[in-house]
Amino acid sequence: MTISMDSIPLSSSGLTALEVSIKAARLAGDIILDGFHKPKKYRYKAPQDPVTSVDLQSEKAVKDFLSKEFPGFGIIAEESGATNGDSEFRWFVDPLDGTRNFVSGIPHFCSAIALAYGPQILVAATYDPIRQEMFQAALGKGAHLNGNRITISSKNRLSDCLIGFDMGPAGSAHGNALDIAHNLWQGIRSIRAMGSAALGLAYAANARIDIYFHQFLSSWDLAGGLLLVREAGGTATDRHGNQATPTSTSIIVSSPNLITQFLEETLTPNNHTY
């Protein structure tokens, strides 16, 4: 079932869903920026997958804010899981995407908020507090960075592309991603490991990178970026070339032409790494 943007109710304080998502992303961003300049306390919730006190603090602040503005909407958050609502609307919350960068003192991370109705992503806000960059999108309204319209790469050839990728938590998909990067290396302009899936998707939407791929994603990593890319004129598929959804665990985003070339290069009889 699909709905129009006009069908989304205003929040308790009279804000649109996009305005609420932007406020929520900034709220998380302010907390993580403050924490970035302080000693960091963290533990590992899985091998190579840290969670910090800032993750938990920012997630609680965002969930409290969203629950106040839209009390009937569900929330799916990275650290606390799902909170069911009494409607089909649900928020996806990643208050700190790029935790390993954050813990290591690398200034490349963000907060990412999205609202969906069923599988349909309606609004998205991805905020980089270091650079004070707000990537935002609303269904049918285009994608914007700090108020300016953005579009995906206009490159036509894979060989001209700067490609971004990430590997996710430890597991078998790690080797595959590195194999793909190695196999592509000689035939493209360059490749970058981003360290933040949400920023990788936002950068693809803004043509800072030409293609972004990831093999092991969760819905809160992916939801907002899907809308950003599509509203910027791009396409998002899974590793098999099927249309990506918030429940996809792999992602390739770019123009349809470049995705076709990427899949042809990585899904050949002699290259089953992807």
Q: Where are the domains of the chain?
A: 5-149, 158-266
Burial class (CB in 10 A: 0-12, 13-18, 19+), 19: middle
We find that the CATH architecture of domain 158-266 is 3-Layer(aba) Sandwich (3.40)
Mean pLDDT of the chain: 91
Please state, for a pLDDT cut of 90, what percent of the chain lies above it. 73
Is the pLDDT assigned to residue 186 strictly greater than 90?
Answer: no
Q: What's the whole-number mean pLDDT along residues 167-188?
A: 74
Q: What's the whole-number mean pLDDT along residues 192-203?
A: 97
Q: How confident is the model at residue 151 (pLDDT cuts 50, 70, 90)?
A: very high
We find that the CATH architecture of domain 5-149 is 2-Layer Sandwich (3.30)
What per-residue confidence (pLDDT) applies to 42? 72
Is the pLDDT assigned to residue 171 strictly greater than 70?
Answer: no
Q: What's the whole-number mean pLDDT along residues 248-274?
A: 81
Residue with the larger pLDDT of the pair 273 and 160: 160
Is the pLDDT assigned to residue 41 strictly greater than 80?
Answer: no
Residues 92 and 223: beta-carbon distance below 8 Å: yes
What per-residue confidence (pLDDT) applies to 267? 74
Is the pLDDT assigned to residue 244 strictly greater than 60?
Answer: yes
Residue 109 and residue 96: Cα distance in Å, rounded?
A: 7
What per-residue confidence (pLDDT) applies to 218? 86
Q: What's the whole-number mean pLDDT along residues 242-258?
A: 94
What per-residue confidence (pLDDT) applies to 51? 79
Structure tokens at 13: 């304080």
Q: How confident is the model at residue 268 (pLDDT cuts 50, 70, 90)?
A: low
Is the pLDDT assigned to residue 76 strictly greater than 90?
Answer: yes
Is the pLDDT assigned to residue 162 strictly greater than 80?
Answer: yes
- 84-131 residue pLDDT tens: 777 899 999 999 999 999 999 999 999 999 999 999 999 999 999 999
Is the pLDDT assigned to residue 273 strictly greater than 50?
Answer: no
Angle at 21 between CA 70 and CA 235, to 5 degrees: 120
